[in-house]
């Protein structure tokens, strides 16, 4: 019995050694592979050319950005914004023309390994850029009849694309529309006016995001424009030519009621036009020249109400007719004292409502005839 136990024990020991030897005979296990670096994507694609300044530009990652830069060959770094989760970067505004933009920065994954943001692209270099100007500057106060006008230095072919880039915001709800008017200066122009006169005290903000907008014919917008202005008190001139008087109302209350002389109605070339004019300029002294009628004079306290030569101004020479007959060449004549009082009271954009004459105010009479156009026709003059 003792020998049998010893033999069994020896067999078990040998088997254990064989098993242990078998377990230790293989190659050591390989370490786990590191995770791949986080992916970074940029838009436009690397080496893209002729990119429009307002094309979609972004850097995105599955990880988080530690930093993103976009540098222009024209100089400077583009201002941009990272999303709250730091997974997307976008520029704050349009890029410039004809420049190469290069990405920089890095994104990291859970293991902390950085992936660089790389690549570059080039924006288009247009054959022509078109300049635009706004008629009302920042901080101005204007009258309730003031239109917003944008003048372009060259003709605009794609008016719809340009109009989509224009925006008018008002502090109170205001119905209005853009309209493209004929331009006599070799460019294009678009006006915005409310359906009715502005409400007094309205704050108006205008944006024209024109940089990077295709104007058609190979031309592009040169720069963005903005302005912020306020509508002042509601001052309206009532000018009935047959009353021989000029009445000024402010916020519904009569401010002035003074003798006046209007254009000689028997001569269509001298008639003061019936319709809504708009105050555009003021001159303490204004030289007035007419080869047609043979005069060259300087008149005081002159307020322009159209580009066809119509002013409200002082004329001491016609005082005897003021209040009783119409003898002028189309202007509204007042006494020196009344003209100065009116001059001091008026703002750019105040409407002057002329009634009772035999000739209507129209596009033949200058560049601001906006209120002479019926509302349905005005809306139809929008490119949208």
Residues with catalytic roles: 313, 331
136 — phi, psi (to 5°)?
-120, 120
Sheet with 128-130, edge to edge strand ranges: 128-130, 219-221, 214-216
CA–CA distances in Å: residue 9 to residues 20, 21, 23 = 17, 18, 21
User: DSSP state, 144?
Assistant: T
Q: Which residue has the tokens 């930093």?
A: 67
Run of H or E including 9:
helix 2-23
Q: Is 81 helix (H, G, I), strand (E, B) or coil?
A: strand
Cα separation of 101 and 118, whole Å? 11
Cα separation of 384 and 381, whole Å? 9
| Residue 137 CB-density burial (10 A; 0-12 exposed, 13-18 middle, 19+ buried) | exposed
Run of H or E including 17:
helix 2-23
5 — phi, psi (to 5°)?
-65, -40
């Amino acid at each position: 019995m003792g020998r049998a136990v010893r033999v069994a024990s020896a067999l078990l020991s040998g088997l254990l050694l064989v098993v242990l030897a078998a377990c230790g005979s293989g190659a050591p296990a390989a370490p786990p592979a590191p995770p791949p670096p986080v992916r970074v994507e940029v838009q436009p694609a690397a080496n893209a050319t002729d990119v429009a300044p307002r094309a979609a530009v972004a850097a995105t990652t599955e990880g988080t950005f530690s930093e993103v830069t976009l540098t222009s060959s024209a100089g400077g770094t583009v201002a941009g914004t990272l999303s709250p989760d730091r997974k997307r970067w976008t520029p704050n505004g349009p890029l410039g023309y004809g420049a190469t933009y290069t990405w920089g920065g890095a994104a990291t994954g859970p293991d902390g390994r950085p992936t660089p943001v790389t690549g570059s692209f080039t924006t288009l270099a247009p054959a022509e850029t078109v300049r635009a100007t706004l008629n009302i500057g920042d901080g101005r106060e204007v009258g309730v009849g003031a239109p917003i006008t944008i003048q372009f230095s060259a003709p605009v072919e794609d008016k719809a694309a340009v109009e989509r880039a224009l925006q008018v915001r008002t502090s109170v709800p205001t119905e209005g529309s853009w309209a493209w008017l004929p331009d006599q200066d070799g460019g294009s122009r678009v006006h915005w006016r409310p359906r009715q006169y502005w409400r007094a005290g309205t704050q108006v903000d205008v944006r024209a995001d024109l940089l990077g907008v295709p104007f058609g014919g190979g031309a592009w917008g040169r720069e963005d424009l903005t302005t912020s202005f306020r509508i002042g008190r509601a001052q309206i001139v009532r000018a009935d030519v047959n009353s021989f008087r000029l009445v000024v109302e402010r916020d519904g209350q009569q401010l002035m009621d003074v003798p006046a002389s209007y254009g000689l109605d028997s001569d269509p070339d001298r008639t003061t036009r019936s319709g809504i004019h708009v105050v555009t300029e003021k001159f303490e002294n204004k030289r007035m020249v007419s080869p047609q009628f043979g005069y060259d004079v300087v008149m005081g306290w002159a307020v322009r109400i159209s580009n066809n030569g119509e002013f409200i101004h002082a004329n001491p020479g016609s005082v005897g007719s003021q209040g009783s007959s119409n003898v002028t060449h189309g202007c509204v004549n007042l006494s020196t004292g009344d003209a100065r009082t009116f001059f001091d009271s008026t703002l750019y954009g105040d409407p002057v409502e002329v009634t009772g004459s035999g000739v209507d105010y129209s596009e033949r009479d200058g560049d601001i005839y906006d209120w002479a156009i019926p509302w349905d026709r005005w809306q139809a003059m929008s490119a949208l």
